[in-house]
Structure 1
């Protein structure tokens, strides 16, 4: 294991940066497309409570089960067996890699605001050959940076996280000054959507979950933390800061333009709103902020994506080849797997012509089961502690675990049957990989016994 350790501020930056990436810059359009202000308020209230409960689950588990390094995978494995643990790791890894691709797509969609016109389509929606070519160069540049060491990459991410806060806070400040209450109250219940409020709330769930994906970052990198207590602190700090920013960005946007107008904006919609507030310089500020934000989030998610196969391989769920580390303590074969998968996904985007919103939906769907298992594991662990002669668990911990589990189940319901079936198809290739890993592991055991 690497001796490179990450401090609390770098861990907090990794959590915050992994959550606050490209999604926040598209929130005004994404939310207005499916819900009116009332449903958005309810959606954020549910998500805020649910995501804080999930953060508290990570906090309790990091303190009570310090032996389970790696978080998402090891919690599912310890609670529900090797196969379920593998499915959690596979789903999380797919979420991370597809999320990485979405970052590349949205950054070039942003640059298209300045390069494209009626007679020229260069970057388009981030899915042209020019966008994919430039994105591929970025993939391998980050590959080189991460290969140089986890701690160095985390420090770069910390600096980028501080830099991307500036345009977000500037937008919030200007939007507060320009906010029109009468505009926000217009069609407050979303009658023009012709969809009940509760259905609108359901439609916001995948979006709100997507922008919070990454909450587990400090736990995923728990083996790299300088101090165990930093893991829970970093998670809570990152979540609370992100929640405040998300709610303000979304709600203030309804006071700048009508819901129908917001829903029709090109993404990243925040850039167009900033253009309304500051003119062309506003677009440039948001574009720069988004590029910095995406670079930081891309780096964070690459670190997470690399860590999961390495952790799973150490327990025999992934093939042993992914246990290999280079001289700087980086799981180099896991890094190669992630970079090659991102590259292949970029080519698939070019071939299919799909854009950011499709990638968002797929990536969000793959994280639902891993998040549900975190709450379920804490609930099971709490019950086991209560049942044992020497253990006791507070009522608060039970409520946290039960609440997080219900939130995870609600997300599966809200995502819809079609998306759930899609995620099941994406688990099939992973099951083949799991079978291969276990077969090779059993073959080694058999050869050892025969040799004796």
Structure 2
């Protein structure tokens, strides 16, 4: 919820002139009209690279120290970043190649699942994408409240009655602004980008200046502090957080329309991604260089605040806290728009019921916005009953994003294996892109395994009842509900949803 985060994800193109924002709400916000492309100035490689960086760096980076501290030591973190970096870069290349091989598919990440595996797969991809955005937006509000909890005890860790009350007011205030037509977040985006990147760089530099060789050595495997499990378990336990902070990487392909030259997009993608990977890894390593692993694991979220305060004193607490709040509020605005569009666009294409494609007089997808705000409000209420609301929403958002990622990577792999879209392309290019798609597909399957059965079942708890929207949409169009393979998938999802509900009721699944 970048918002991957929760940086987070864009939808490339919108029906009816809807605004398209970059992944974390920090790239360009442009308005498109049917039959006309956006009139924008062409951008250089450094400018494009900056946009890629801005789209991926979001709220999740502020929680990295404790999330890694509770799972692993330095060695495990280095391996985790290497795996995540490789996997997510392959995924970025998948979205880039799909944008080239299938340029007509410009309705968001869900469209790849539909093109490759049918209408019902595309529907589930869109629902997963939307639900991930809603969970990520809920994470944002819990994150803000937890930050305020550093100064006001009534906010606790972001899941108290006071926290939920203030967050609820914020949800509906932003709902009101967006419904009134507040859509262009360009000025906010520039401010937010500065308030994100600058404090993070200051954090890294200050901590490395205060480098403690003894602490760093003890944190190498953190073996002296207790049993974190073997190295494989440590790495697996970091996979959801590493994925969460990179969510939004598909946004790099959106920038192709702004490039002076097509090849500049690839360069900007690699440079931007490596820059972000370096920032994330340095935040982790610098934290290990000053704070012992057990203390790091026990630091309250957002953990960058506590770590920085332990080094520089009280002013560090205020410095990082302001950065967190400004960054998250800016991201929330963009991602509320994005979540609404994820329902609005399929509704305009007859994949969702027609009522979700309604706009108000200000051109806002109002019904989809209402459903999105209600979704965030519902999850906020749920946080009162969750043991660790912040990390639960982070993990839930990441798990839900895995389905559209997996289906997009699998579609790219399918194109490479069948040769569709490569008729006039050199065989070497096809082989390279097929290998990349294969690695990306394997990585997303690995992430499902790392997420665990709990979050897979919770995903089906959402997908199963949401299928009623698919049934309604098909009925409106007078179209066949399911093909035999789609019916089998529907039954599997319903069985998973029932198992998830039973697990929640019996306590076998805890949240």
Q: Give me the TM-score of the superposition, normalised by structure 1.
A: 0.88
What corresponds to 1:94 in structure 2? 131
2:77 is equivalent to residue 35 of structure 1: no
How far is the alpha carbon of 1:315 from its aligned partner?
A: 2.6
Alpha carbon RMSD of aligned pairs, Å? 2.9
Pick aligned residue for 1:138 from 170, 181, 200: 170
| Larger CA deviation: 314-323 vs 370-379 | 314-323
Instruction: Output the CA distance in 1 between the equivalents of 2:208 and 2:386.
Output: 40
How far is the alpha carbon of 1:194 from its aligned partner?
A: 4.5
1:77–1:234: structure 2 CA closer, same or farther, 3 Å change rule? Answer: farther
What corresponds to 1:413 in structure 2? 449
1:234–1:162: structure 2 CA closer, same or farther, 3 Å change rule? Answer: farther
2:339 is equivalent to residue 305 of structure 1: yes
- Asked if structure 1 preserves the Cα contact closer than 8 Å seen for 2:21 and 2:334, the reply is no
Which structure is higher in helix share?
1
Instruction: Output the CA distance in 2 between the equivalents of 1:134 and 1:360.
Output: 20
1:414–1:351: structure 2 CA closer, same or farther, 3 Å change rule? Answer: closer
What corresponds to 1:64 in structure 2? 101
Instruction: Output the CA distance in 1 between the equivalents of 2:232 and 2:472.
Output: 44
How far is the alpha carbon of 1:139 from its aligned partner?
A: 1.3
Query: Counterpart of 1:10 in 2: which secondary structure?
Result: coil
Instruction: Output the CA distance in 2 between the equivalents of 1:96 and 1:268.
Output: 20
CA deviation digits over 1:202-261, x for unaligned, max 9?
111011111112223466x789x6679698777656533322211110111000111111
Question: How is 1:203-242 mapped onto 2 (pairs within 5 angstroms)?
Answer: 203-217=237-251, 238-242=272-276
2:324 is equivalent to residue 287 of structure 1: no
- Asked if structure 2 preserves the Cα contact closer than 8 Å seen for 1:18 and 1:301, the reply is no
2:448 is equivalent to residue 430 of structure 1: no
Instruction: Output the CA distance in 2 between the equivalents of 1:69 and 1:2.
Output: 14
Instruction: Output the CA distance in 2 between the equivalents of 1:155 and 1:231.
Output: 24
1:174–1:392: structure 2 CA closer, same or farther, 3 Å change rule? Answer: same
2:118 is equivalent to residue 81 of structure 1: yes
5+ unaligned residues in a row in structure 1: which ranges? 117-121, 445-452
2:228 is equivalent to residue 188 of structure 1: no
5+ unaligned residues in a row in structure 2: which ranges? 1-15, 30-47, 481-511
1:351–1:414: structure 2 CA closer, same or farther, 3 Å change rule? Answer: closer
Aligned residues: 438
What corresponds to 2:8 in structure 1? none
How far is the alpha carbon of 1:389 from its aligned partner?
A: 5.3
How far is the alpha carbon of 1:141 from its aligned partner?
A: 2.6
2:17 is equivalent to residue 2 of structure 1: yes
More contact order relative to length (CA 8 Å, sep ≥ 6): 1
| Larger CA deviation: 384-393 vs 174-183 | 384-393
Instruction: Output the CA distance in 2 between the equivalents of 1:405 and 1:437.
Output: 30
- Asked if structure 2 preserves the Cα contact closer than 8 Å seen for 1:19 and 1:297, the reply is no
How far is the alpha carbon of 1:424 from its aligned partner?
A: 2.1
Query: Counterpart of 2:472 in 1: which secondary structure?
Result: helix
Instruction: Output the CA distance in 2 between the equivalents of 1:249 and 1:373.
Output: 31
2:398 is equivalent to residue 364 of structure 1: yes
Instruction: Output the CA distance in 2 between the equivalents of 1:142 and 1:14.
Output: 24
How far is the alpha carbon of 1:68 from its aligned partner?
A: 0.8
CA deviation digits over 1:124-156, x for unaligned, max 9?
111122111211222123223434557512442
- Asked if structure 1 preserves the Cα contact closer than 8 Å seen for 2:27 and 2:55, the reply is no
How far is the alpha carbon of 1:95 from its aligned partner?
A: 0.6
Instruction: Output the CA distance in 1 between the equivalents of 2:335 and 2:86.
Output: 24
Instruction: Output the CA distance in 2 between the equivalents of 1:2 and 1:387.
Output: 29
- Asked if structure 2 preserves the Cα contact closer than 8 Å seen for 1:91 and 1:369, the reply is yes
| Larger CA deviation: 324-333 vs 299-308 | 324-333
What corresponds to 2:357 in structure 1? 323
What corresponds to 2:41 in structure 1? none
| Larger CA deviation: 241-250 vs 349-358 | 349-358
1:443–1:189: structure 2 CA closer, same or farther, 3 Å change rule? Answer: closer
- Asked if structure 1 preserves the Cα contact closer than 8 Å seen for 2:130 and 2:343, the reply is yes
1:440–1:94: structure 2 CA closer, same or farther, 3 Å change rule? Answer: same
Instruction: Output the CA distance in 2 between the equivalents of 1:236 and 1:139.
Output: 35
